[in-house]
Structure 1
């Protein structure tokens, strides 16, 4: 007699192996692991501290900006101005610590102000983005396009379009310094990611962000101050863009308003999408953004290290974004 047990359907509630679900939930982690394994197999000197250091220093600014972008996208918005805000912060800092804006009683004061003023200026401009979105009811992509266009021009006006070269170790520590051998910017990145992840999961503000992105009308009817939350989210995005701008100019020992933050808005959005945050809002993962940024950086590094032109990395980045969005759609179904 045939064994009929093998033909019976699975018991109700029994776990089932669903490849689509696994790819949707853990696709970014699987892709990162595969990238590392491929590099260990084909890329010379991949498993070295020098290679790790190169990739870390290249990805930190993207992750920091990506955290702010994650919060904005979680509310159903978008921020195209992040690269321009980086340029503004990067232009202001040397003007301050080099004493070109006002006389400094002591160099240390100039360094302190160079850390504070540019970041606050970027945060204020981020708040302005939020004001356009919430008070004037302008669509986020249009509202942030204003500073995307004008912001870099403002930075160029500050510097008269000139490259600002400097050598100031006390300021450059944010981009070149190390803590127990680890790049300080990587430590700062980890702190920011951890704080944002905790905020999203453990605070009322974090739950409000996700509620607004999930259903803004329902969130408003439930008493959530939608306008206030959105403005704070855009302010945070601007603040983090300012920090990233300081890291970039400190790492390069120069500030170029034409290049600082150029294309950063696309890298940040790509990291958010690849990491698993829904581009329509309502669900966000800051850790996923970190993983997404690492994937994009490793793809570029892998291609360059193996003699593939940088243009191919752009094509690969686009393909990764398309795949990430497709996986999101499968997960929503």
Structure 2
């Protein structure tokens, strides 16, 4: 009996270590592979390109990590990005600051609406956010009249093209937001309440925690982060394209969060793991492109990585 218990403990310890550190090992292994087998991969120019492409995904994934930490999910982040993209041309004539502010307001309202449905109405998160996934993109297309709009405001486009000391502005914004989310999660009462609610919502309610307020706040944060990603992606494209903006972004964000070690069962948020999860998925896609493999292969590998990550995390609780 003792030997069996020891083996079970050893297995659980290995599983926990793999869940906590597997993403870092995978990133290191992939970089080593590319250093040996992929020409011109480990260059400053290539890394800059990969980071710029990953920045919007990371920003969305940070919000998704908070939502998943409450044992929820937000399927509407891609639609919120599309809404932000559709709003920008309407207010860009009043200046980039006004356009960005209105896009972020829309993101907050969408997130708060999702949180209201989950916290107050009691709808399951996957159903509540699915409604906005469909309706939000439809509304974005209506606002834009179903058309792609070219943007030419230099100050707005600078978000997607300028850099500071060689670091792209979008990457700097993503880094700052990652630090803020990490601080929110680990060093604030709100963050501790978020984790407690994800661990056991009934116990959190009995303990007197403001469950509904925290849930609405978490979804609102997720919404505004999705809007930020939409603004950056629109600036980089120099065009508002609600039909394509943020398409399948929710899947990319969920993948990064799960691969990064945040359990779907809630009660924990791994911000650094999420960052490396985004980097891992970006490196996988870039590696396949460098080796002339189709994007469909990347999608299948992404699916396999999700299954592996969920399998490793299955015994967490």
The interval holding the TM-score normalised by the smaller chain is over 0.9
**2:71 corresponds to 1:76:** yes
Quick check: 321-330 or 244-253, which moved more?
321-330
Q: What's the RMSD between the two structures over aligned residues? A: 1.7
Q: Which runs of 5+ in 1 are unaligned?
A: 1-8, 105-109
Q: CA deviation at 1:138?
A: 0.7
Quick check: 23-32 or 83-92, which moved more?
23-32
- The normalised TM-score by structure 1 is 0.90
CA–CA distance in structure 2, aligned partners of residues 174 and 301 of structure 1:
23
SS at match of 2:121: coil
As a proportion of its length, which structure holds more helix?
Answer: 2
CA–CA distance in structure 2, aligned partners of residues 169 and 307 of structure 1:
35
CA–CA distance in structure 2, aligned partners of residues 112 and 199 of structure 1:
25
CA–CA distance in structure 2, aligned partners of residues 251 and 294 of structure 1:
19
Q: CA deviation at 1:228?
A: 0.3
**2:178 corresponds to 1:193:** yes
Q: How does 1:51-62 map to 2 (within 5 A)?
A: 51-62=46-57
Larger radius of gyration: 1
Conserved in 1, the CA contact under 8 Å of 2:15 and 2:313?
no
Count of residues paired in the alignment? 310
Q: Which residue of 2 aligns with 1:38?
A: 33
Q: CA deviation at 1:269?
A: 0.4
**2:152 corresponds to 1:130:** no
SS at match of 1:112: helix
CA–CA distance in structure 2, aligned partners of residues 160 and 20 of structure 1:
51
SS at match of 2:75: coil
**2:86 corresponds to 1:91:** yes
Q: Which residue of 1 aligns with 2:19?
A: 24
Q: Deviations over 1:206-233 (max 9, x none)?
A: 0000000000000011110100000000
Q: Which residue of 1 aligns with 2:124?
A: 139
Q: CA deviation at 1:255?
A: 1.1
**2:280 corresponds to 1:295:** yes
SS at match of 1:63: helix
Conserved in 1, the CA contact under 8 Å of 2:115 and 2:219?
yes
Q: Which residue of 2 aligns with 1:148?
A: 133
Q: Which residue of 2 aligns with 1:5?
A: none
1:235 aligned residue (191, 200, 220): 220
Q: Which residue of 2 aligns with 1:50?
A: 45
Q: CA deviation at 1:94?
A: 1.6
Q: CA deviation at 1:176?
A: 1.6
Divergent runs of 4+, >6 A: none
- The normalised TM-score by structure 2 is 0.95
Q: CA deviation at 1:24?
A: 2.2
Q: Which residue of 2 aligns with 1:171?
A: 156
